[in-house]
Amino acid sequence: MRKKRSSQSRLKKDVLEQSLCTGCGACVGLCPYQMVYKDRTVQLFDCDLPDGRCRAFCPRTPSDLPLLRESLFDALDATDEIGPVKEFWIARAKDAGLRARSQHGGTVTALLRLAMSEGWIDAAIVSGRLSEREPEGRLIDDAGALADYARSRFWAAPTVAAFHRAPEGEGRRIGVVATPCQALALAKIRTAKIDGYDKGKTLSLVIGLFCGWTLALEPFQNLLETYQLSAANLTGMDIPAGKNILELHTAEGPVNVPMAEVDACVREACRYCVDSTAEFADLSVGAARYGRNSGEMQNWNQVIVRSETGKKLVSLARSRGILEFRETPQEALHELKNAAAEKKKKALARIIAKSRSPQNLLYLNPGDTVVKKYLKT
Amino acid sequence: MTRLLSPAGSRVLFLGNEAIARGALEAGVSVATGYPGTPSSEVIESLATVARGRNLYVEWSVNEKVALEVAAAASFAGLRSMAVMKQNGVNVASDFLLHLTASGTRGGLVLVSCEDPGALSSVNEGESRYFAGMLEMPLLEPADFQEAKDMTKWAFELSEAIGNVVMLRSVTRMSHASGNVICGKFPAKTRKAVFRCDGPIMDSQTGPMISTPVVAKHLLRQQKLKTVQALFEKSPFNCYTGPARPDLLLVTASACSLYAAEAVEMLGLQKRVGILKIGTTWPLPPRLVSGHLRKAGKILIVEEVMAFLEENVKVLAAGDPKLSKGKTFFGKYDGTLPFAGELNPDIVADALAKIFKIRRDALSPSYLEEARKTAAMLPPREQTFCAGCPHRASFWSIHNAIALDSREGFVCGDIGCYSMAALTPANGYWTMPTLHSMGSGTGLAGGFAKLAPFGFKKPVLTVCGDSTFYHAVIPALINAQHNRADVTFIVLDNQGTAMTGFQPHPGIEVNALKESVPAVDIAAVCRAIGAKVTVCDPFDLAATGAVLTDFLAEKGLLKVLILRQACALSPEKKGKKTFEMKVDEELCLGDACGCNRLCTRIFRCPALVWDRKKKKAAIDEVVCAGCGVCASICPQKAIVKTPVASAFASGG
């Protein structure tokens, strides 16, 4: 009998060597064989086992996305562009202090704090501070400490690995802040049917982040060097709407880097990603940036509520006065959908350029109706 | 009193190397130097044990070249001296040796080369006999233990008679086997060291010790060989046994003469084969050898490893058409015997059987069948690092740092126990693809590091042991620093010349004579040349790994990591456990763990075993050295270490 190929070697061939690895950490923290170093997934030794969870959870191995959608969301909420939409809001944290420490409207941190103080989750996994040497997911069980992690960094942290490593306890529940690829991995974890594995049940809340791409750490560090900067100097970073720059915040003031330079540092894997709104999260949050008058929208978030859990949390936040809302213009959702559809088309075109066949979409299924719609024919 | 000083006339069981040492003592040797290397080490080790009582200076030198230089100084001052090394050590010493054979010597100077045909404990089967021919110095090869002693003693006399170095060559089966030796007398007189240098330039007894005028001194060296040949014609170390007119003359030397005698007996060819055993292999005594060659039409030359003797016998025969006419020569050139590896009586018997067209079933089929069955019962064993060996921990960290770095970095290897990382790649976790001579790892690494302009992108690491560092690494290290080579240089400092038996080296505060001496600090040497230096305990996997990943990320310079942890077999550690190790059977998930037996399948310390009944990992308490490293690799924290109180009480 021919020996089944190890999951690890299949991951290596199908994901790592295809430059599809997003560094989400879904394959790390389950065994001693795989690690994330800087922002790269590294296989230390051959584990030699088939049917590994590493491969089962990876967001870039083929999976049945329609089935995932069906088991996590209400079919009536489905949209092709941005996944399930139960509700769509423009919102922000009411706490102005929190907003000041946050990336945009502070919505994510406000919701996490609420979920934790209400006892919906015992701990939250967020990506580490900007100043930390190695990007890592952090398990935080003190609601007061969450604001320390409120700012975005633009490179991947292996957040899902922190979920794998989180200690299990009776009835313990965990919330995770996730990029689209991480949210997909977490959806695979939540719905996994693997003998002896039920940690997915502890995953009580996934707050997704809108994501256009992430930066590959090494080229970005090299770019920083040309500006006499290192990651340790950064206090924050942002892409202000309409300016075509990456704004780096430092103690000495902002440094603007032209987008063309930044683009060269984008992680290769991100170019094959069809999801910009974390379609598999309970709710997804991003900067509000629509219309010409984007300055007015600064410090507000767009919020897509996808699941029942997401809906309950947002409505609790509203009734407790944790979040404040403003009127939600129709064109906001429209613009978001258009942008998301554009990303899907581009990514699919690149996937076909890589696989050289519209029948082979690497991790995506050509039969998936959502995928089919954006395939250039 | 040590056996080595047994009284004259007594019959003593000596190791071959001890017989050589005894011969040197009987010759009145004053200075003996060497660099440890199997199978040579016991000559110096045994002399060191008697040095004090015999007014003898014994030194483990930093390398073989320096050993020969220190010994030569004694010779220049009129004392008898000896330098001892393994085969490839002669290569290290050879540059000085080239000039030394030209300047000549005064007090008897013997170069002992103990060689390793078949490379039983070497990574080469180098032959130093060719140096004798190339540098025109006499060569002696003992064939038994008595000869080893007697020949060594005579080598000093011969050296003094001609004023040049004499080389004595032994092999593993001579150096490391034991036999009875009848001891001779020690000299009554001791010599005084006097160095005269005011005589004429061509007088090596009173003039300057230099190799110029080159051509004149070269001719002088060759003249000395005439004296040697004349002495060799009468030497008792050459002897013939067999019929007056044999069908075949077997010419042999060294331990091979024992194989030859046994093979002739095995085939019952005593009446057809004569054996000429030569002890004075270079230059060959022409009259003696020609005389024997005339006896037979067929000549078989039996020797290890190369065809040195065969070539010289053939050259001699070719010089005399009457002698070579109608003769058939068998040996290595015609394929009768192999050109590589060790010989044994069976190989020689097969060669004889082939020549005599005798059918030879070496072993009966039933015997072979039994042997096969027995072999199947033996547990498979691999060459591996000992339990508690710091090298395993070091290579674990090196491997992981290379993997994390992801640029396919690799380690240039060097000579020591850690060579096993290249010989059995699982030991070094497949990180060490090059292995050459002492110090070559660092030289190669410095070279690889300069290939970036040609598109080479892999990061380069290199390892060397502490003894190797002093022996031959320092020039290569300085070269790397001076030429801005981006190399991660790792010293696997296990606090002694561990592989050959813990001989001291310049980093140790004790010398061969157990005197207190200043230690030369490796870190200080590296800092002094301007390298960035970190010292770490390899058993601390986290700290070692962090330094290595940082070093690999820091580009464009020489980085030095000294991983200091004594060898598990070192006298201060052996038998003392720092930790009592245990596998917590509750925590070990066995095959249900995603680790797929990381401890026994990948880490592979011999003390970690898989309990087939319980289907869990276990510690073999007898083998375990208690280093505690495996506790930090188990993802379940199922391997538990408990400090052993006595280890601290005894300071261990």
- Do B168 and B76 lie in a common domain? yes
Taking the C-alpha atoms of residue B617 and residue A220, their distance in angstroms, rounded to an integer, is 44
* Residue A20 main-chain phi, psi, to 5 deg: -100, -10
Q: Which of A32, A42, A43 shows the shortest C-beta gap to B595? A: A32
pLDDT of B649 above 50: no
User: What is the predicted pLDDT for the residue at A156?
Assistant: 85
Q: Mean pLDDT throughout B13-32?
A: 98
Chain segment A337-347, per-residue pLDDT in tens: 999 999 999 99
ipTM of predicted assembly, 2 dp:
0.89
Sign of the torsion formed by the C-alpha atoms of A65, A71, A77 and A82: negative
Name residues 533-552 of chain B within 8 A of A (Cβ).
Answer: 549
Q: Mean pLDDT throughout A202-221?
A: 94
Q: From the CA of A32, how many Å to the nearest CA of chain B? A: 6
- Do B228 and B343 lie in a common domain? no
- Do B336 and B252 lie in a common domain? yes
Encode A35-54: b = buried (16+ Cβ within 10 Å), e = exposed.
Answer: bbbbbbbbbbbebbbeebbb
Structure tokens at B646: 């006595």
Contact present, B401 and B543 (Cβ < 8 Å): no
Under DSSP, the state recorded for B599 is: I
Chain B contacts of A30, Cβ < 8 Å?
A: 594
- CA B565 vs CA A294, B390, B481, B627: distances in Å: 63, 6, 25, 10
pLDDT of B495 above 60: yes
User: Quick one: closest CA in A to B405, which residue?
Assistant: A37
- Do B456 and B551 lie in a common domain? yes
Contact present, B78 and B533 (Cβ < 8 Å): no
Contact present, B44 and B52 (Cβ < 8 Å): no
- Do B227 and B255 lie in a common domain? no
The fold of the A217-263 domain, in CATH, is Nuclear Transport Factor 2; Chain: A, (3.10.450)
Encode B80-117: b = buried (16+ Cβ within 10 Å), e = exposed.
Answer: bbbbbbbbbbbbbbbebbebbbbbbbbbbbbbbbbbbb
- Do B324 and B394 lie in a common domain? no
- Do B251 and B278 lie in a common domain? yes
Burial class (CB in 10 A: 0-12, 13-18, 19+), B124: middle
Q: Residues B379, B381, B386, CA angle at the centre, nearest 5°?
A: 130
Judged by CB atoms closer than 8 Å, whether chains meet at A47 and B596 is answered as: yes
Residue B293 maps to which CATH number? 3.40.50.920
Contact present, B551 and B575 (Cβ < 8 Å): no
- Do B258 and B218 lie in a common domain? no
pTM: 0.92
Contact present, B217 and B103 (Cβ < 8 Å): yes
Name the residue with higher pLDDT: A126 or B379. Answer: A126
Does B598 reach chain A within 8 Å, measured CB to CB?
yes
Chain segment B120-146, per-residue pLDDT in tens: 999 999 999 999 999 999 999 999 999
Contact present, A273 and A22 (Cβ < 8 Å): yes
- Do B350 and B412 lie in a common domain? no
Place of tokens 């720092």: B578
CB atoms within 10 A of CB A253: 7
Contact present, B254 and B277 (Cβ < 8 Å): no
Helix ranges (H only) for chain A are 7-11, 53-57, 65-72, 96-101, 107-117, 159-165, 180-191, 217-226, 259-263, 308-320, 330-355, 369-374
Does A217 reach chain B within 8 Å, measured CB to CB?
no
Q: From the CA of A37, how many Å to the nearest CA of chain B? A: 6
DSSP A261-278: HHHTTB-GGGGG---SS-
Chain A contacts of B409, Cβ < 8 Å?
A: none
Number of H helices, E strands in chain B: 22, 22
Taking the C-alpha atoms of residue B64 and residue B87, their distance in angstroms, rounded to an integer, is 10
User: Quick one: closest CA in B to A196, which residue?
Assistant: B592
A241: confidence class by pLDDT, cuts 50, 70, 90: confident
Does A12 reach chain B within 8 Å, measured CB to CB?
no
Chain segment B411-431, per-residue pLDDT in tens: 999 999 999 999 888 899 999
Does A135 reach chain B within 8 Å, measured CB to CB?
no
Chain segment B48-68, per-residue pLDDT in tens: 999 998 999 999 999 999 999
Q: Mean pLDDT throughout B509-533?
A: 96
Residue B613 maps to which CATH number? 3.30.70.20
Q: Mean pLDDT throughout A147-162?
A: 88
Chain segment B311-343, per-residue pLDDT in tens: 999 999 999 988 889 999 999 999 999 999 999
Taking the C-alpha atoms of residue B543 and residue B538, their distance in angstroms, rounded to an integer, is 8
Does A161 reach chain B within 8 Å, measured CB to CB?
no
Structure tokens at B497: 């010349």
- Do B405 and B547 lie in a common domain? yes
Q: Which of A35, A40, A49 shows the shortest C-beta gap to B596? A: A49
Domains in chain B, number: 4
* Of A23-27, B102-106, B423-427, the least confident: B423-427
pLDDT of A281 above 80: yes
- Do B223 and B244 lie in a common domain? no
Place of tokens 């003769």: B327
Place of tokens 């199908």: A14
Contact present, A227 and A196 (Cβ < 8 Å): no
pLDDT of B615 above 70: yes
Contact present, B267 and B358 (Cβ < 8 Å): yes
Taking the C-alpha atoms of residue A371 and residue A81, their distance in angstroms, rounded to an integer, is 10
Residue B525 maps to which CATH number? 3.40.50.970
Domain final residue pick, B179, B209, B233: B233
The domains of chain A are located at 1-216+266-350, 217-263
Taking the C-alpha atoms of residue B491 and residue B463, their distance in angstroms, rounded to an integer, is 6
Structure tokens at A80: 């092709």
User: Quick one: closest CA in A to B593, which residue?
Assistant: A31
pLDDT of A129 above 80: no
Beta bridge partners of B11: B182
Taking the C-alpha atoms of residue B494 and residue B566, their distance in angstroms, rounded to an integer, is 4
| Percent of chain A topping pLDDT 90 | 75
* Of A247-251, A349-353, B46-50, the least confident: A247-251
Domain final residue pick, B564, B598, B625: B564
Chain A contacts of B595, Cβ < 8 Å?
A: 31-33
Distance of CA B620 to the CA centre of its chain: 32
Structure tokens at A293: 């008058």
Structure tokens at B85: 């090394």
Residue B598: give the domain boundaries.
Answer: 579-649
Domain final residue pick, B217, B233, B249: B233
Chain A contacts of B405, Cβ < 8 Å?
A: 37
CB atoms within 10 A of CB A369: 11
Judged by CB atoms closer than 8 Å, whether chains meet at A37 and B404 is answered as: yes
Contact present, B360 and B349 (Cβ < 8 Å): yes
Taking the C-alpha atoms of residue A169 and residue A173, their distance in angstroms, rounded to an integer, is 9
Contact present, B70 and B538 (Cβ < 8 Å): no
- Do B188 and B281 lie in a common domain? no
